[in-house]
Chain A
Amino acid sequence: MPSTQSQPDDLYNQAVAAHGPALSRLARGYEFDPEDCRDLLQEIHLAVWRSFRTFDARCSLRTWVYRVAHNTAASHILHSRRMKSKTMISLEEIEEQGGIAAKDDTDRSIEQSQMLERLFALIQCLNPLDRQVTLLYLEGMDAASIGDVTGISSGYVATKIYRVKAILAERFRNGGNHGKQ
């Protein structure tokens, strides 16, 4: 746990060393276009650095960084004109629809890059809250830690994770052919 007396610069360096790659993946989960993604990433880094002026160590550095990063990204989505016009749905809606149909489901040996592309497409149609849960799950966080960051009860996070797993399995089974033989 970092000292509350630490300067924002030190805490920022510590945060980037520990969570820099995760922040980059997070930004990509909100903005797929490389330039927009880089702008958002800079916005997140700036927000994280500024936030350390008031860091009080009441929560772990990881929880703090993820909260600031996800809140910055959610605010980015809410204020972006392009994003405003985009329809975002919940995990439950995707499940009810039986997953989102992919363009080409016949190729069994789908490349990893294509799988990632599809994964990003799935993530980017989610509403902010479900997107946050999904991205944190992909970072390997457990339900309780995701609950700390998002403010949702860990039980409900577990339900969400169950849905995420089911949707991912449905969409990416056999390397992306959705199990359609």
Chain B
Amino acid sequence: MANNDASNELLNLWKSQEPQSISLSAKELRDASSKLESQIFWRNSREYLGAAIVVVAFGFYMYKFETVLLRLGSGLTIAGALFMAFHLFQKGSAAAMATDLESKSCVEFYRMELVRQRDLLLSVWKWYLLPFVPGLGLFLLGMLQMVLRQPASHLHYGMVALWFGATFAMCAATFVLVEWLNRRAAREIQKKIDSLDQQRQATD
């Protein structure tokens, strides 16, 4: 009884609020819709621009360097960037605005969004990291080969080993770190999905 009294009082208080109530005109709605689409276009454009910079830079290396390893490495890196851009093009437009807002109940929609985010995080290595591994690996080997072609009198093997080792370790560490962070975030999302499923099973 006391619970009901307290919550009825709050229900009245809640309803008595006078929040800003807005109503958008047809023009405002269409403008907002166009603005949203334009924001999505520019957001995707920024990502394509990143891929374009990679293509231009490694295209220049392909032209500039003469060894097979460096040219092949550059070519594969360009291919990796184009693959990534294609993947973004495919996925980006679909994720422009949340879909199924009306056809799914809140619990179904929430689960669907969690699953989508988890899968996106788990697949990052496939479309964001892996495509660059062969190209950058070969490019690095090509750089090493170029350095080792210098006359022996100009070479300091210790420094070369250090440079190669450090560069390789830095690339590997970046890849591992990105993957580790994504997996950790995906595990947290999975916990939420499991908890939601448990709740649903308990009530069915």
Chain A residues with CB under 8 Å of chain B are 9, 12-13, 16, 20-21, 23-25, 27-28, 38, 41-42, 45-47, 49-51, 54-55, 64, 67-68, 70-72, 74-75, 78, 112, 115-116, 119, 127-129, 132, 138-140, 148-153, 155-156, 164-166, 168-169, 172-173
**How big is the B interface, by class?**
35 or more
Extra inter-chain contacts (11) besides given A67-B109, A78-B110, A140-B15, CB under 8 Å: A38-B22, A51-B102, A71-B106, A72-B98, A74-B109, A78-B113, A78-B117, A119-B13, A151-B108, A165-B7, A169-B6
Q: Which of B13, B17, B23 contacts A13 (CB 8 A)?
A: B23
CB of B32 within 8 Å of the partner chain: yes
Q: Mark B100-121, 1 if CB is under 8 A from A, else 0.
A: 1111111111100110010000
Minimal beta-carbon separation of A81 from chain B (angstroms): 12
Q: Would A149 and B106 count as touching, CB distance under 8 A?
A: yes
Q: Would A50 and B33 count as touching, CB distance under 8 A?
A: yes
Chain B residues with CB under 8 Å of chain A are 2-7, 9-11, 13-15, 17-24, 26, 29, 32-33, 36, 97-98, 100-110, 113-114, 117, 192, 196, 199-200, 202-204
List, in ascending order, chain B residues with CB within 8 A of A115's CB: 10, 13
Cα distance A148–B103 when bound, in Å? 12
List, in ascending order, chain A residues with CB within 8 A of B7's CB: 164-165, 168-169
List, in ascending order, chain A residues with CB within 8 A of B9's CB: 172
Decide if the interface of chain A is mainly helix, strand, loop or mixed. Answer: helix
